[in-house]
Amino acid sequence: MSKLYSITGFDYLELSDKARSRVKNWLDDNPFEYDDDNGIVRFEYPSDWDEGTIGAHCNDNEYIFDVDGRPIHNLIEG
């Protein structure tokens, strides 16, 4: 037997500062790898981006969070 639950989801820019910090830590778990001009592998961490860029990245990837900044987009059936 399955149950239906209602969860309120938030976009990144709707979150508190504390919740945004949790999101940044989550995003930083998977930094973007790239080669610089000298062929050296570097990593770009989303927490180094400005708030608008992080918000746009989350929106582009359809990330949704609970009030505490935990990702919940994987719970949504679409």
pLDDT of 2 above 90: no
| pTM assigned to the model | 0.85
CA-based nearest residue to 26, from 59, 68, 56, 60: 68
pLDDT of 78 above 80: no
Q: List, for residues 11-44, the tens digit of each pLDDT value.
A: 999 999 999 999 999 999 999 999 999 999 999 9
Q: What are phi and psi of 55, to 5 degrees?
A: -60, -45
- pLDDT value at residue 5: 82
67, 8 contact by CB (below 8 A): yes
